[in-house]
Amino acid sequence: MRLEHVIASGLANPDSAVGVYAGDEESYALFAPPFDPIIADYHGFGPGGRHESDLEVARLNVPNPDPAGRHVVSTRIRVARNLCCFPLGPALSKRERRIVEATVVRALASLSGDLAGNYYPLYEMDPATKERLIADHFLFKEGDRFLEAAGLNRDWPDARGIFHNPSKTFLVWVNEEDQLRIISMEPGAELQRVFARLARALAELERRLTFAYSERLGYLTSCPTNLGTAMRASVHIRLPGLAADEARLKALAAKHGLQVRGTHGEHSQSEGAVYDVSNKRRLGITEVEAVRQLAEGVAALIAAEQRI
């Protein structure tokens, strides 16, 4: 990986929020001059920082922030993971990508109970099914220009796909921005239950796979905004009052450490006053703390909405 590859996405997309991607663990050390200030700015994590993980469900213990079900449409918590000893997506060869897919699919196939499901490779999915899965927020979009310029869409759709259980509460994206995006989601705002399912799935997968992890940076990901926990815990929340002033909504969310996205994820707009609100920071914060931050921030947003 050369510097021109690290910055390719930002050069091709001047409207990038961040614009850099790593090709492997070494990229983060070799290109520390561009990466470290970005990491410090995004996560508030300095050069002396050390990351710690905490996926202990019993330590979370958060109440449902919307028990009446008036605002929160659904809750989703995802983590990114990459396999140890392989390059990250931007530098992965076609052959390596196929090995990653086969390794991950084999691990997923042995899950049982509510985590059992099927793997659907992208190349054999019919277009209508694909559109439906994307529209319903289960599947990644295609042709993202930020990923394209980073080299993450090479050989598309080869070795890409989605695994999910029949109820689509547990899903795994294979070989999109990261080799795995492990997702727990369901309607409503039962954060505790969504987190518990994710933690259980991760414990099962860690018995079968070895993920890339650094003492300093936590779980390694292709985009520096995902390092650390690699976790984005989000709600889809309807806020018609706050929607009248999106700048104020974003400022209020930011006060609670939260980021606001549109109804169809990153780089999308809000539809019907539904926003995707999630923890911004992922490095230098534990998984438990990140979900607690979301619960508290969502409660504050609902209180502000109800005052309008």
Which of 91, 185, 198, 217 is the binder for ligand ADP (CB under 6 A)? 185
Which of 223, 258, 290, 294 is the binder for ligand CIR (CB under 6 A)? 223
**DSSP letters along the chain, please?**
--HHHHTHHHHH-TT-SS----SSHHHHHHTHHHHHHHHHHHH---TT--------GGGT-PPPS-TT-SSEEEEEEEEEE-BTTS--GGG--HHHHHHHHHHHHHHHHT--GGG--EEEEGGGS-HHHHHHHHHTTSS--S--HHHHHTTTTTTTTTT-EEEE-TTSSEEEEESSSSSEEEEEEEES--HHHHHHHHHHHHHHHHHH--B-EETTTEE--SSGGG-BT-EEEEEEEE-TTGGG-HHHHHHHHHHTTEEEEBTTBTT---BTTEEEEEES--SSS-HHHHHHHHHHHHHHHHHHHHH-
Contact between 156 and 165 (Cβ < 8 Å): no
- In the region spanning residues 96 to 155, those forming contacts with ligand CIR, defined by CB under 6 A, are 146
Nearer to ligand ADP, 27 or 75 (CB): 75
Options 90-98, 106-114, 198-206, 263-271: segment touching ligand ADP (CB under 6 A)? 263-271
Could you tell me how many residues make up the chain?
A: 308
Tokens linked to 29: 């050390």
Nearest approach, Cβ of residue 279 and ligand CIR (Å)? 11
Which of 13, 16, 53, 74 is the binder for ligand ADP (CB under 6 A)? 74
Q: Does 254 bind ligand CIR (CB under 6 A)?
A: no
Nearer to ligand ADP, 71 or 76 (CB): 76
Catalytic residues: 78, 177, 181, 223, 225, 232, 261, 266
List the single partner that 51 binds among ligand ADP, ligand CIR, none, CB under 5 to 8 Å by kind. Answer: none
- In the region spanning residues 229 to 248, those forming contacts with ligand ADP, defined by CB under 6 A, are 232, 234-236
Q: Does 275 bind ligand CIR (CB under 6 A)?
A: no
Mask 8-47, x = binds ligand CIR (CB under 6 A)?
A: -x------xxxx----------------------------
Q: Does 103 bind ligand ADP (CB under 6 A)?
A: no
Nearer to ligand CIR, 108 or 274 (CB): 274
Residues at the site binding ligand CIR, with contacts judged by CB under 6 A: 9, 16-19, 146, 223, 225, 266
Residues at the site binding ligand ADP, with contacts judged by CB under 6 A: 74-76, 78, 137, 181, 185, 232, 234-236, 261, 264-266, 276
